[in-house]
Amino acid sequence: MEAMKGLTYRKINEDIASIGHRVGKAWLVVFGLDLLVLTFGICCWFYQLFKGLGVTGYTRPAMWAVYITNFVFWVGIAHSGTLISAILFLFRAGWRQAIYRVSEAMTVFAVMTAGLFPLIHLGRIWFFYWLIPYPNQRQIWVNFRSPLVWDVFAVSTYFTVSAIFFVVGMIPDIAAMRDRETGLRKKLYSLLALGWRGTSRNWKHYAQTYIYFAAFATPLVLSVHSVVSWDFAMAQNPGWHSTIFAPYFVAGAIFSGMALVVTLIVPIRKAFKLEQYITDWHFDAMAKLILFTGNIVTYSYLVEFFMAWYSGNPYERQAFWDRAFGPMGWAFWVMAACNCIIPQLLWKRRNRTHIPTLFVITLFVNVGMWYERFVIIVQSLNANFSPWIWRGGYKPTFVEWGITAGSFAWFFMYFLLFVRFLPTFSITELKEILPRPFRRSRKEKAA
């Protein structure tokens, strides 16, 4: 908070609204490279469309693999955005104001990325609408008892609500940017600000509805990753059929999402010289949350192994033995090192507030959480009830890696455009942190 002392309302407007003008050539270079990777990903996807899913490494029994891993990974990434913007809003956590816009944007773009993967995984994407309940000449309906249909409802609701929350939150800030701009930008912002003037009437209904958006988003964020976890837990496959999955997935989602928030905020803070806004206090708070959720995840890993042993079920025991010591055991150890061991460095305050150290730790967490989903999906499928199909021969092909890289480029394309054209930090909420502009102190008023 100390670092925010030199700020004024006017300076906040100047600093935040000018970010789009300060991006320079570096932004263009990064954006160009990003589009190149995205183009490669799209080419890989077209190749898969023409040739069929045979170009992937799918081998029985691993018929869910990297695409579903990516889906769960990106849905997880989306979660901390809503946690910061909605849950911490309801709990009035003061450190959220400086970082919530970035994390909200991350949420929306991550859900947009996650939503691609079930469609890519379908293979015949032109039949995707079969997932939607609509009256049809075959006179059949979707199966509402299936977690896959729950997923359609959960993810589409999550995207819609997150997008509304994100856009509504930006309206006063876009109005502030409109008032500073000229020409085409002014026209664009005037349109997006919907005529916001910060009147009593505007604020009265805005403040009330914003609380309700937060109140809706809070249970939603917990439900969506629970529903995603039930895609697995509802099946009787060893390694999947567990009641711990919902809380375990939610904690993992916040863990990975918070790590990506730090990964994204560190370069933005450096590039736009926003050290006054995002201080050691913010990084310390985020690092504590990473440590806390990381330990929940570690505990969940241990409980899974314990329950496999304690159940006396030979299939469960075999699945978890294979998970750590089977042919793909290396993936488990990458996951354990990144998610369980490396985050322990955050017990030390110096590591929580030393930005390069924290940045590197979050990169490891990002990698570790991708591997967590890979381990849960591929390794569990590889150790199911039928030993005759235990081949463990699944290897991702260049098509899967290309589409995965393309998904990161897709996410970063939106994020780069967001930094370039929209208020990256909340102008109005940053002002709420500053002391109110009172002429007289409380004592003077009382006198």
Q: Which residues bind other proteins (CB under 8 A)?
A: 8-10, 13, 133, 139-146, 149-150, 153-154, 156-157, 160-161, 164, 168, 171-172, 175-176, 178-180, 190, 194-209, 212-213, 216, 219-220, 223, 227, 428-429, 431-432, 436-440, 445
Q: Which residues contact 388 (CB under 8 A, 6 or more apart)?
A: none
Residue 209 C-beta: closest distance to other proteins, Å: 4
Contact 230, 202 (CB under 8 A): no
Three-state secondary-structure class, residue 59: strand
Q: Among residues 222, 200, 223, 210, which one has the least CA distance to residue 429?
A: 210
Task: Output b/e per residue, 307-326; b: 16+ Cβ within 10 A.
Answer: ebeeeeeebbbbbbebbeeb
Q: 213 vs 411, which CB is nearer to other proteins?
A: 213
Q: 29 vs 132, which CB is nearer to other proteins?
A: 132
Q: 154 vs 251, which CB is nearer to other proteins?
A: 154
- The residue type found at 98 is A
Residue 210 C-beta: closest distance to other proteins, Å: 9
Contact 67, 368 (CB under 8 A): no
Residue 387 C-beta: closest distance to other proteins, Å: 25
Q: 232 vs 364, which CB is nearer to other proteins?
A: 232
Residue 294 C-beta: closest distance to other proteins, Å: 28
Residue 284 C-beta: closest distance to other proteins, Å: 26
Q: 176 vs 261, which CB is nearer to other proteins?
A: 176
Three-state secondary-structure class, residue 62: strand
Three-state secondary-structure class, residue 14: helix
Residue 232 C-beta: closest distance to other proteins, Å: 15
* 62, β-bridge pairs: 59
Dist. CA 191–CA 185, nearest whole Å: 10
Sign of the C-alpha dihedral, residues 51, 53, 54, 56?
A: positive
Q: 186 vs 420, which CB is nearer to other proteins?
A: 186
The DSSP symbol for 146 reads S
Residue 201 C-beta: closest distance to other proteins, Å: 6
Residue 217 C-beta: closest distance to other proteins, Å: 8
Sign of the C-alpha dihedral, residues 84, 86, 90, 92?
A: positive
Q: 9 vs 306, which CB is nearer to other proteins?
A: 9
Two tokens, residue 235: 């099946």
Dist. CA 75–CA 283, nearest whole Å: 23
Dist. CA 291–CA 310, nearest whole Å: 28
Q: 356 vs 437, which CB is nearer to other proteins?
A: 437
Residue 18 C-beta: closest distance to other proteins, Å: 13
Q: Which segments within 292-365 are labelled E, that is strand?
A: none
Q: 39 vs 136, which CB is nearer to other proteins?
A: 136
CA triple 117-123-127, angle to 5 deg = 95
Q: Which residues contact 141 (CB under 8 A, 6 or more apart)?
A: 133
